[in-house]
Structure 1
Amino acid sequence: MKSKAHIKTHPLHPILVAFPIAFFIGAFIFDFLSLATTNLSFWQTGYYLSIAGITGALLAAVPGAVDYFFTVPPNSSAKKRATKHALINLLNVFLFGFAVYYRGTEAASTYVILTIEGIGVILLSIAGWLGGTLVHRNQIGIDHRYAQAGKWKESYFEQSSGKIEVATIDELKVNGLKLLHVAGKRIALGRTEKGYVAFDDHCTHKGGSLADGVLMCNTIHCPWHGSHFDVETGKVKAGPAKQPIATYQVAEQDGKVFLLL
């Protein structure tokens, strides 16, 4: 899904995370060199790299938090993965922060600091693995489009029931999609050759966003694992999903599209 924290559709979080990763690993390497060579300049470099890593990690966490709360689909495997990713990174920042504090104490031991930083680097690798999976498997931050789909569309509505105006007749091209937030509920609005349809944005397999999928031949294709659903009946046309998705009534009137709840 398209990132909410981006510059010209390029997500900010992946841009920023490269810096703390390099700084934290660099701090561990230079502290190890300090122990191996007894060179004080390596020790000082490790200290400053740790400070830079903590600062960079906190900066990268800002767009990461924006995407966590507003981009990652709720109640999905990606949300669980993103939670682990965030918690591990926070723990890593705490470890390096403690190592920086510990350096200034009289009882400071290079071996202890290297152990703490080594654990931090391992955690950093695990968090990086999870982050990569979020991008490459769950497609978080990816604004992928297909022929005639148009740009990503998303709207919010406070009304939770009744007849809700959600689009104009010509807002979407055939096979186009739009994500609706209706009183906190995520509903995908699509346009087929027959007209407008509406269905749950939540794939029943792992919770992927169907509004971020591909709509063709009256079928929505989940972008995560390829499940296919009939957009009129909600029935599964191809797995791995086994449960159907909910569908909603849509009415077209006076050049406008209404969702009936």
Structure 2
Amino acid sequence: MKSFANVKGHPIHPALIPFPFAFLPTALLFDAGSRWLARPAWAITGFHLLQLGILSGLVAAVPGALDFLQRVPPASSGRSRALRHGLLNVAAIAVFAIVWSLRRDDRVTGATLALELLAVAVLLYSGSLGGTLVTRNLISVDHRHANAGRWRETRITAPAGTPVAIARADELERDQMKLVIVNGHRLVLARTGNGYAAFDDGCTHRGGSLADGVCIDGAVQCLWHGSQFDCATGEVRSGPAKKKIRTYEVKQQKDEVLLVSPPR
């Protein structure tokens, strides 16, 4: 799913995380070397690396939080994984900040080393969760190209039960989709060989975003685990999902596509 915080399509958060991951573990190495190898000058380097790591970690957290709030599908396995990833990162940075506050005189103690080691371990585990978010949940991965069309998203507020326009009639080509958030509810509008169809965005297996999936021959496939659903009826065509997705009535009126009965 295309990152919310991006520059010309390039995600910002993955571009920033190498800095704290380089600075903070290296700070631990310099601090350990200053104590065990009797190199007191190394502690100064470690202290400055600690400062740089904390600062760069806080900067990287901003686009990460935006992607979490705006892109990670709600009520999904990716959402809980992203939440753990973010909270553990905050915890690690907080421990590094405590170490920094205890080291105003540049001295390295056994206690500060132990705290740094703990924080680095948490950071590495959290980083592995972040990697899973990219490789398994496709967060920050904009895979759309060629006939799949670019990522499209529309937010609409409308009275429940009152037809509302959610797209132009010529906005989508065949087998293209867009995410439509109506009154906070995530729907997908897809154009199939039989016309337009609308259905819930969340896969019934693990909550993956179907708007970020693939639409082929009247079926939509979730890219997280491969479940396929009929766009018109919502029925499961292929598992692991067992439960159908909810569908919504849409109709084309002149040059607009209308959602007949928007959810509350």
Q: What is the TM-score with the length of structure 1 in the denominator? A: 0.97
Secondary structure of the structure 2 residue equivalent to 1:140: coil
Secondary structure of the structure 2 residue equivalent to 1:55: helix
Percent identity among equivalent residues?
Answer: 45
Give the Cα separation in 1 of the matches to 2:164 and 2:225: 32
Give the Cα separation in 1 of the matches to 2:146 and 2:222: 16
Secondary structure of the structure 2 residue equivalent to 1:60: helix
Q: Does 1:174 align with 2:157?
A: no
Give the Cα separation in 1 of the matches to 2:17 and 2:163: 44
Q: Does 1:62 align with 2:62?
A: yes
Secondary structure of the structure 1 residue equivalent to 2:237: strand
1:260 is matched with which residue?
260
State the shift of 1:27 in Å. Answer: 0.5
8 Å contact from structure 2 (residues 43, 108) kept in 1: no
Q: Count how many residue pairs are aligned between Structure 1 and Structure 2.
A: 260
- Counterparts of 1:11-30 in structure 2, within 5 Å, are 11-30=11-30
1:78 is matched with which residue?
78
- Provide Cα deviations, 1:80-120, integer angstroms capped at 9, x if missing partner: 001000010001011111011111379x6521111101011
Gaps in structure 1 of 5+ consecutive residues: none
- Provide Cα deviations, 1:231-255, integer angstroms capped at 9, x if missing partner: 1110111111111000000011112
Gaps in structure 2 of 5+ consecutive residues: none
Q: Does 1:100 align with 2:94?
A: no
8 Å contact from structure 2 (residues 35, 108) kept in 1: no
Which stretch of the first structure deviates more once superposed, 191-200 or 108-117? 108-117
RMSD: 1.2
2:140 is matched with which residue?
141
Aligned structure 1 segments of 4 or more residues deviating by more than 2 angstroms: none
8 Å contact from structure 2 (residues 27, 45) kept in 1: yes
Which stretch of the first structure deviates more once superposed, 155-164 or 126-135? 155-164
8 Å contact from structure 2 (residues 204, 241) kept in 1: yes
State the shift of 1:146 in Å. Answer: 4.7
8 Å contact from structure 2 (residues 73, 207) kept in 1: yes
Give the Cα separation in 2 of the matches to 1:84 and 1:73: 15
- Provide Cα deviations, 1:188-228, integer angstroms capped at 9, x if missing partner: 00000110000000100110000000000110000111000
Secondary structure of the structure 1 residue equivalent to 2:224: coil
